[in-house]
Amino acid sequence: MTTEGDVKLDIGVLERAAEIVHAVMPPTPQYTWPLLSARAGCEVWAKHENHTPVGAFKIRGGLVYMEDLKRGSNPPSGVITATRGNHGQSIAFSASRAGMKSIVVVPEGNSVEKNAAMIALGADLVIHGHDFQAAFEYAQARAAEEHLHMVNSFHPLLVAGVGTYGLELFRSAPDLDAVFVPIGLGSGICGVMAARDAVGSKAEIFGVVSEGAPAYALSYEAGQPVSTNEAVTMADGVACRVPIPGAFAQIKAGAAGVIRVSDDEIKAAMRNLFTDTHNVIEGAGAASLAALLKTKERWAGRKVGVILSGGNVDADMYRAVLAEG
């Protein structure tokens, strides 16, 4: 199994990761929607990671990670991980393809529809703890006790995999001035920064978090990892309260900033995306547009990317979000 010290995310690594990903799914589209660009006052390139086979960007990392695990000298028969949903779908999908069993731990009150999707993809679903961190710690303990392979939510191979959407975006829109990326535990933004550097783009990369889950924003401002006691937001994909040190180090070195958006701003962006593109985008995925709209004066007339990282929102929640508008 490849370790963190074995991976330098250069163009060769990203292209090899893309070969693994594209053997399973085609590149996702990036579109400039006229209504969206008019709303933002700039040329907006929307990267549609809601169009993957699991409805989110995470599948890319899972495919690369499991391919490496399968080709190792002693591949495990099964893996365990913790998630709020999209990472778990990625691991369940990729483990099944690799002939491995997967145990996925989610917190209480997790998305009903994401849970159902993970089970359908072959996961043994376990519900434990009041939030992601509690579920993660339980998964770690069980991995140690039962000698299971623990798949963390951040690893260089996961970053290489998800970085392939950044590679697609920068090659399709090489002169972007900025890209807005939601931050959960950090693989997405680190992948985008790796792709930017690999192709030589000059784009500024901005991370986006919820005001109710500001751990990475607080960390960026403090210059060191800062945990919070809670992470309360309707955007479950960014509900992080304990930053990953390795992810934070890369964000500190390569990001232009981390922007906070409110749940109301996220909900408005979800409605905007439906109106302007007729795409269903979950809260975390809409956070990127919320951040662009919050800072739109800075980007007037320029060329900006927004990562629509997933579309996996429960129907009841989505109906309520649309009704608020």
Q: What is the pLDDT of residue 325?
A: 84
Q: Which residue type does 39 have? A: R
On whether both 296 and 315 belong to a single domain, the answer is yes
What's 207's DSSP letter?
E
CATH of the domain at 229: 3.40.50.1100
Last residue of a domain, one of 150, 170, 187: 150
Pair of tokens at residue 5: 């010290």
Q: What is the pLDDT of residue 4?
A: 53
Residue 274 CB: number of other CB atoms within 10 A? 17
On whether both 267 and 167 belong to a single domain, the answer is yes
Render 50-85 in DSSP notation, one character per residue.
GGSTTSBTTHHHHHHHHHHHHTSSS--SEEEEE-SS
Q: What is the pLDDT of residue 1?
A: 60
Q: What is the pLDDT of residue 129?
A: 94
On whether both 36 and 63 belong to a single domain, the answer is no
| Cα-trace Rg, the chain | 18
On whether both 71 and 165 belong to a single domain, the answer is no
Q: What is the pLDDT of residue 77?
A: 86
**What is the domain range of residue 278?**
4-57+156-324
Q: What is the pLDDT of residue 255?
A: 98
Last residue of a domain, one of 150, 177, 193: 150
What's 29's DSSP letter?
P
Last residue of a domain, one of 150, 180, 201: 150
Please enumerate in sequence order all residues whose Cβ is within 8 A of that of 298, keeping only pairs 6 or more positions apart, or say none: none
On whether both 23 and 162 belong to a single domain, the answer is yes
Query: Residue 129 phi/psi, 5° resolution?
Result: 90, 165
Per-residue pLDDT of the chain (325 residues; tens, 9 = 90+): 655 555 579 999 999 999 999 999 999 999 999 999 999 999 999 999 999 999 999 999 999 999 999 998 888 989 999 998 899 999 999 999 999 999 999 999 999 999 999 999 999 999 999 998 999 999 999 999 999 999 999 999 999 999 999 999 999 999 999 999 999 999 999 999 999 999 999 999 999 999 999 999 999 999 999 999 999 999 999 999 999 999 999 999 999 999 999 999 999 999 999 999 999 999 999 999 999 999 999 999 999 999 999 999 999 999 999 999 8
On whether both 66 and 203 belong to a single domain, the answer is no
On whether both 38 and 187 belong to a single domain, the answer is yes
Q: What is the pLDDT of residue 7?
A: 58
On whether both 76 and 201 belong to a single domain, the answer is no
Pair of tokens at residue 97: 């393809």
Q: How many domains does the chain have?
A: 2
CA distance 178 to 180: 7
On whether both 310 and 291 belong to a single domain, the answer is yes
On whether both 13 and 123 belong to a single domain, the answer is no
Which pLDDT tens digit goes with each residue over 202-252? 999 999 999 999 999 999 999 999 999 999 999 999 999 999 999 999 999
Which pLDDT tens digit goes with each residue over 103-126? 999 999 999 999 999 999 999 999
On whether both 182 and 301 belong to a single domain, the answer is yes
CA distance 66 to 75: 9
